[in-house]
Structure 1
Amino acid sequence: MNLQVILSNFALILFVAMVLTGVIWFLDIFYFARQRRLAADTALVAFDHRNATLAADGIKTDNASRHAIEAALLRQPTWIEYSGSFFPVIALVFVLRSFLYEPFKIPSSSMVPTLVIGDLILVNKFTYGVRLPILNKKIIEVGDPQRGDVMVFKYPKDLAQDYIKRVIGVPGDKITYENKRLTVNDKPVQYTSMDDYLEDDSLEYHQQFTENLPDSSHRILNSKNKRALDLGSVDNFPHREACVYSYEKFTCIVPEGNYFMMGDNRDNSADSRYWGFVPNKNIVGKAFFVWMNLGNWKRIGGIH
């Protein structure tokens, strides 16, 4: 595992930090604290014996020093004190991110108009099953991705990268894309024209439609000056034999245990059309909420 992968895997960093601080916290409770108590008791016995001797000789003793000696010997070293303070916080964050909700930031325009650059989103980690952190292995079945879901997953060509796209095809589906229109299982998807969309970053107008998949409706964008498919960008991906490409059309049958993903900004999205299917083992979770966008507070809300 190279340094770039390690640095990009925040869950791994959190896990290592949790283990290190947890071990120190555990050792302090069951070993270091007892050693400090033993040292303090030994020092206090010696202190009390000396004071008794002085008192017998008629010399006044200072009992306040006894408390200072005890406090000094029982005090945690700085490195143990900080580890004990950080451990519960790190453990809580690790559990929340691994099994409940994880935050992400949208870095590109491939999901416009649903998600824009700068959106800070929350991803539900248990909707599609409970997975072991770091290994991302499913251990409890809960549910499966559905057509229309906005899903975060590990990019099949580089597992260090997290991608976000919309689920268009589930296992067994026949997906056809021709003239910028989808057909799912030989049933044409219905489109409703909307007002053109002005993209803030490029200041370009795009054709906007409501796309009515069998299970959901959402908005998509098309660019008038771009083709439906760039054959030169199609990779030789796993299960490539399940797809048939032509100049303006392709048809794919989604293999078992895989999903076909597309961006809502159809002509500005590198997705399953080009790099292939997303296997179940790559799934991170379902995006469901925009919790902040520093450039536009009106963006806060649910994801559809």
Structure 2
Amino acid sequence: MAGYFAIFLVMFTLASGLIWLLDARLFAPKRRQQVEDAVAAAGGKLPEETIEQLTKEPWLAETARSIFPILAIITVLRSFLFEPFQIPSGSMMPTLLVGDFILVQKFAYDVKDPVFRKTLYRNNTPQHGDIAVFKYPEQPTLDYIKRIIGLPGDRIIYRDKQFFIEKACPAEQQGNCPGLEQVRYSFTSDGEFTQQGLPQRRYTEQFGDKQYDILITPQVPEQKQSYYRQATTAIDEWIVPEGHYFAVGDNRDNSRDSRFWGFVEEDLMVGKAVFIWMSFEFSDNPDRVLPRWIPVGVRFNRLGRLH
């Protein structure tokens, strides 16, 4: 099932369209007939004010006629093409910051209906390194955004704050498959970001043909005791089931992701994050007068395509 806003938008669009249609087919002809009867009763002449009064649309019908085309366009765009999202947390830092507004390409993966989320058209599937939006498996009314690390059939190990991946190997390639490979990263900077007062290190990670930055907090230990346990594998190892994906935040020590709650079903995928179209800066100063939800600036340098 889709989120509440998506359901509300679709229902509101259908309601306004139905009201407009009923008025156009049932009540508008009756209003026109009333005018004709009134003209005939008046001997063929009727003041313009009286005609306008008799033909005037009810407020509800006039409003529905005005807003239905706009709502229909928004519903189609949001459901099948692009949907805007706001980043509410720091789990994808430094790639995405709190206050970033992104566009998610809905048709990048399977196209689904906006209410029941049944697949209407089979398109592409998520790839390694994609930034994907999906319905949170533990509460499907919430949208989550993470980076896809594992595809169906991949074997994944997260050890000493590094990922090792053995990619799924098709049957026809058996005997010539790559083994376990480290997802390598290189040091970029130190101290630019903090996690609860602890300095974080910024690294550039290379995953296939994708390159992006991640954050690691050296003083925060791995939370292995909280990891999702999969039968027949080690505590820090997972094998992605068919039809599922393994999704992780770029802020590795400050992200609740597949390491903790498991895999993302294919049907829960919403789309691929492709563009930052606005980025607001907020102040953490406790002495500020304005509420914290009011931005103090715009980060124009962050606008652009996502990688």
- Deviation readout 1:175-229 (Å, 9 max, x if unpaired): 1111011111001122111112522786653111111112422111100111133
Matches of 2:4 and 2:80, distance apart in 1: 16
**After superposition, where does 1:121-160 map in structure 2 within 5 Å?**
121-160=102-141
User: Cα gap change, 1:294/1:191 in structure 2, threshold over 3 Å: closer, same or farther?
Assistant: closer
**Which amino acid in 2 is paired with 1:89?**
I
Equivalent residue, structure 2, for 1:264: 250
Equivalent residue, structure 2, for 1:70: 51
Matches of 1:99 and 1:243, distance apart in 2: 38
Equivalent residue, structure 2, for 1:251: 237
| Structure with the greater alpha carbon radius of gyration | 1
1:19 maps to 2:32 = no
> Unpaired runs of 5+ in structure 1?
50-62
Preserved CA contact (<8 Å) 2:195 2:217: no
Shift of 1:302: 1.2
Preserved CA contact (<8 Å) 2:84 2:102: yes
Moved more, 132-141 or 37-46: 132-141
1:196 maps to 2:190 = yes
Percent of aligned pairs with the same amino acid: 40
User: Cα gap change, 1:183/1:68 in structure 2, threshold over 3 Å: closer, same or farther?
Assistant: same
Matches of 2:209 and 2:260, distance apart in 1: 24
> Unpaired runs of 5+ in structure 2?
167-179, 282-298
**Which amino acid in 2 is paired with 1:298?**
N
Matches of 2:245 and 2:83, distance apart in 1: 21
User: Cα gap change, 1:215/1:256 in structure 2, threshold over 3 Å: closer, same or farther?
Assistant: farther
User: Cα gap change, 1:242/1:46 in structure 2, threshold over 3 Å: closer, same or farther?
Assistant: farther
> TM-score by structure 1 length?
0.86
Matches of 1:67 and 1:25, distance apart in 2: 25
1:47 maps to 2:47 = no
Equivalent residue, structure 2, for 1:58: none
Preserved CA contact (<8 Å) 2:134 2:144: yes
> TM-score by structure 2 length?
0.86
1:228 maps to 2:243 = no
**Which amino acid in 1 is paired with 2:200?**
H
Equivalent residue, structure 1, for 2:174: none
Preserved CA contact (<8 Å) 1:113 1:264: yes
Equivalent residue, structure 2, for 1:52: none
Matches of 1:283 and 1:32, distance apart in 2: 44
Matches of 1:128 and 1:37, distance apart in 2: 49
Matches of 2:102 and 2:195, distance apart in 1: 19
Preserved CA contact (<8 Å) 1:242 1:255: no
Equivalent residue, structure 1, for 2:97: 116
**Which amino acid in 2 is paired with 1:244?**
A
**Which amino acid in 2 is paired with 1:217?**
Q
**After superposition, where does 1:96-115 map in structure 2 within 5 Å?**
96-115=77-96
Matches of 2:91 and 2:12, distance apart in 1: 34
1:241 maps to 2:231 = yes
- Deviation readout 1:246-288 (Å, 9 max, x if unpaired): xxxx111110000001100000000000000000010010001
Residue 21 of structure 1 aligns to a residue whose secondary structure is helix
**When you count helix as a share of all residues, which structure comes out higher?**
1
Preserved CA contact (<8 Å) 1:119 1:292: yes
Preserved CA contact (<8 Å) 2:240 2:263: yes
Residue 247 of structure 2 aligns to a residue whose secondary structure is strand
User: Cα gap change, 1:37/1:197 in structure 2, threshold over 3 Å: closer, same or farther?
Assistant: farther
Preserved CA contact (<8 Å) 1:126 1:142: yes
Equivalent residue, structure 2, for 1:53: none
Preserved CA contact (<8 Å) 1:174 1:253: yes
Matches of 1:148 and 1:197, distance apart in 2: 25
Residue 157 of structure 1 aligns to a residue whose secondary structure is coil
Matches of 1:300 and 1:135, distance apart in 2: 33
Matches of 1:71 and 1:303, distance apart in 2: 54
Matches of 2:42 and 2:182, distance apart in 1: 90
Preserved CA contact (<8 Å) 1:44 1:66: no
Matches of 1:264 and 1:218, distance apart in 2: 9
Matches of 1:273 and 1:160, distance apart in 2: 21
1:165 maps to 2:146 = yes
